[in-house]
Amino acid sequence: MCGIVGKVYSNPQMRPDSAVIERMKTAVAPRGPDDHGTWISGPAAFGVHRLAIQDIAGGHQPMVTPDGRFAIAYNGEVYNHRELRERLLGLGCDFRTHCDTEVVLNGYLKWGTDVVRHLRGMFAFAVYDTREQTLFLARDRVGEKPLYYARLNPGTAGESLVFASTLKAFLADPDFPRDLDPHAINGYLAFTYVPPPATFFRAARHLPPAHTALWKGGDLQPARYWRLEYEPKTSITFDRAVEETIAHLDDAVKIQLTSDVPVGCFLSAGIDSSIVAALARRHVTGEFHTFTATLPSKEPDERDDARKLADHLGSTHHELVIDPDPAEALGLIPWEMGEIVGNPTAIAYHYLYRFAGDTLKAILGGDGGDEVFLGYPRHLCHLKSSALRRLPFPLRRILAATSGGLVKVAPDFMALRRFNAQALRSMADDVSCHAESTVHMRPEVRAAMFGRHAVSLFGGTMPHPEDLKRTIMLDEPGMPDSILDKSLRVDVEMLLPNWTFAKSDRLGLGCGLEVRAPLCDPPLMEFAARLPADVKYSRGQLKAVLREAVGRLLPPGVAGRPKMGFGQPHRRLAARILPFARDLLLDAPARNRRIFDQTAVEKLVRDCSEGKPRELALWTITLFEAWCHTYLDRADPLSGPLQFGG
């Protein structure tokens, strides 16, 4: 696993400044503490910082072919690299190492841009051809690894393209403009993340998952090479689906244990991490490490269940009680992530990854189970709302109004509140329900935050990032038929890469830890996508296939455990960041940015100081302002994280 950077000029007579490349490398150095290297040839330069997982001695980067024609800067793990190496040897390729980087490089020599179709794993890489003067960029299928790029000085003699694993690396280049993109900020407020290809900077782009891009002479040609397809459905019994899921996942776990360093597992005692750990135990000989973390005020506590599972698996078990410091996180999260995610659970994940990273370099997690196998409670809400939608509209309106009135009388009756929410959803179409169900800050709230500046910021009416979800569900080719599959596609294409993997990659590698996701192995995802809805939601249970699989592999009780979240308790969040929020949001730099309406910001701070439940909005806005202070307001934006709280 690595941090990569590079710069390529359109004009073959131009030469990259080595000092700029070295400074860009410092921005990605935490991603690769074991080794680093630089390659410069003509108008191109690459830099790499390496976390050594495969072929520790021989995997130095950037890697160059013996004739000097091709160079690669590579970040990732190709789990089938040994199989591909044998195929490439049969095709006449020579190898000097046992590293997956050289497999990708030789694969490019043989298959060209189609090399990505042969790779099973997580990756982001760049290959430069010194003869043709072309730069090829690629990102893995589900977006586990990030890859940013920016066109600098377009249309001039000094035109170039820069790329990096983290957005902040571009700030090392004096040619990079720091103008903010209000559309990206709007997306961040809507989802707590910026949907690619946008970034906070107008000049920078984030290559979307399952995409490549070819650059030559100032022309950039992006292309999509993969999409998860949900049709046609497989004709399969529930029992057979469980058997094949176990077989696919066992294969994914086995291949993702490929490493020259020990690999452990997160173990929350939930369904996803439990089945991954149980299958990993089959293939690990010798010591096997598992890690559990919880919050001190969380009830019930997962540690007892996780400890029992660890004893059953015979693992060396590590426990952490996290008491996260949001003030510290305000400095560390912008620094480690580069481009932030505003979900406050990132605070707890930072401490979890740092804890595991003190013992291991690589770890398997349970990310992806909900997005692949239908596991979120809102999926069940969509099912129930769809059932209510079969009733005549006047009756739905009466049910919504009546249950809404009863909620006012009995606000603590949660079953009634859930029914009222379902009745309200049933009055809208399925697509609108899903598009709005995962919005963090609704349009009217965002409009209030931007205030009177919205017209000037957006050049007219404030746009709706929610339309991105509608596009995925309605307008994209290969659109699935059912609302559940439509919602799963949105989760896979938006939530997984932009929250789940943004968190595990940026925060994990910030602590020198590579987090792997067997549940997002493409063959397993492709199998699960074609399972009928009545198989995924069976016996009245979400994620029924995985639940049954856990029941066949582990002691009784694991499969039935309720879903438990992991992160910062919201009721404690506002009080602990409020002093820093006031300083950040109401100071001169924030006012001079003229992004948010100061009256709305002051009201947000006042509401939280009075105990009103707006702590998530406060965190999202405050974290963004901490990001701005880190990267826009300091003379040296790469000098380290901001310091709060003395």
- What are the DSSP calls for 35-95, one per residue? EEEEEEETTEEEEEEE---SSTTT--SSEE-TTSSEEEEEEEEETTHHHHHHHHHHTT---
What the block records as the tokens of 612 is 């009103």
**pLDDT exceeds cutoff 60 at 298:** no
Tokens 């696993």 locate to 1
Q: How much is the average pLDDT of 337-354?
A: 93
Of 133-147, 378-392, 485-499, the least confident: 378-392
End-to-end CA distance of the chain: 34
Per-residue pLDDT tens digits for 464-516: 888 888 888 876 666 677 778 888 999 999 999 999 999 999 999 988 999 99
- Is residue 10 within 8 A of residue 218, CB to CB? The reply is yes
Distance of CA 413 to the CA centre of its chain: 35
User: Looking at the DSSP assignment, which residues form a beta bridge with residue 38?
Assistant: 47
**pLDDT exceeds cutoff 60 at 87:** yes
CA neighbor of 405 nearest in space, from 612, 613, 413, 444: 413
CA-based max dimension of the chain: 78
Using CA atoms, how far apart are residues 195 and 211, in angstroms rounded to an integer?
14
- Does residue 613 have a cis peptide bond before it, meaning omega lies within 30 degrees of 0? no
- Is residue 6 within 8 A of residue 150, CB to CB? The reply is no
Length reported for the chain? 646
CA neighbor of 580 nearest in space, from 295, 329, 345: 329
- Is residue 120 within 8 A of residue 255, CB to CB? The reply is yes
pLDDT reported for residue 419 = 76
Of 172-186, 394-408, 619-633, the least confident: 394-408
Using CA atoms, how far apart are residues 375 and 367, in angstroms rounded to an integer?
12
Using CA atoms, how far apart are residues 342 and 28, in angstroms rounded to an integer?
21
- Is residue 158 within 8 A of residue 175, CB to CB? The reply is yes
Q: How much is the average pLDDT of 94-101?
A: 94
**Residues of the chain with pLDDT > 70: what percent?**
92
User: Angle 377-388/430-437 helices, nearest 10 degrees?
Assistant: 150
**Residues of the chain with pLDDT > 90: what percent?**
66
**pLDDT exceeds cutoff 90 at 458:** no
**pLDDT exceeds cutoff 70 at 563:** no
pLDDT reported for residue 567 = 60
What the block records as the tokens of 46 is 């690459």
CA neighbor of 333 nearest in space, from 322, 343, 323, 320: 343
Report the helix count and the strand count for the chain, using DSSP H and E.
27, 17
Instruction: Measure the CA angle with vertex 321, ends 317 and 326; round to 5°.
Output: 140
Within the chain, all domains assigned CATH 3.60.20.10 are found at: 2-224
pLDDT reported for residue 208 = 97
pLDDT reported for residue 509 = 93
Greatest mean pLDDT among 156-165, 465-474, 566-575: 156-165
Assign 491 to helix, strand or coil: helix
Q: How much is the average pLDDT of 538-558?
A: 88
Assign 212 to helix, strand or coil: strand
What the block records as the tokens of 548 is 């049954």
CA atoms within 13 A on the CB side of 638: 19
- Is residue 20 within 8 A of residue 174, CB to CB? The reply is yes
Of 175-179, 435-439, 531-535, 584-588, the least confident: 435-439
Strands 289-294 and 316-321: parallel
**How many CB atoms are closer than 10 A to CB 390?**
8
pLDDT reported for residue 446 = 92
pLDDT reported for residue 384 = 65
Give the list of residues 6+ apart from residue 197 with CB closer than 8 angstroms, or none: 205, 206, 207, 208
pLDDT reported for residue 269 = 78
**pLDDT exceeds cutoff 80 at 368:** yes
Q: How much is the average pLDDT of 414-441?
A: 73
CA neighbor of 24 nearest in space, from 202, 127, 173: 173
**Backbone angles phi and psi of 151, in degrees to 5:** -95, 120
Q: Which residue has the higher pLDDT, 589 or 389?
A: 589
Within the chain, all domains assigned CATH 3.40.50.620 are found at: 238-374+496-553
Q: Which residue has the higher pLDDT, 252 or 444?
A: 252
What single DSSP character describes residue 33? B
What the block records as the tokens of 546 is 């995985």
Assign 266 to helix, strand or coil: strand
pLDDT reported for residue 460 = 75
C-alpha torsion 158→160→166→168, nearest 10:
10
Q: Which residue has the higher pLDDT, 634 or 56?
A: 634
* Domain spanning 2-224, CATH architecture: 4-Layer Sandwich (3.60)
**pLDDT exceeds cutoff 80 at 410:** no
Give the list of residues 6+ apart from residue 634 with CB closer than 8 angstroms, or none: none
Domain 238-374+496-553 classification at class level = alpha beta
Tokens 């042969």 locate to 118
Instruction: Measure the CA angle with vertex 335, ends 331 and 341; round to 5°.
Output: 90
How far from 409 is each of 317, 352, 413, CA to CA, in Å?
48, 42, 9
Region of 35 please: left (phi>0), alpha (psi -120 to 50) or beta.
beta
Model confidence at 279, in pLDDT bands (50, 70, 90)? very high
Of 160-164, 298-302, 568-572, the least confident: 568-572
**pLDDT exceeds cutoff 80 at 145:** yes
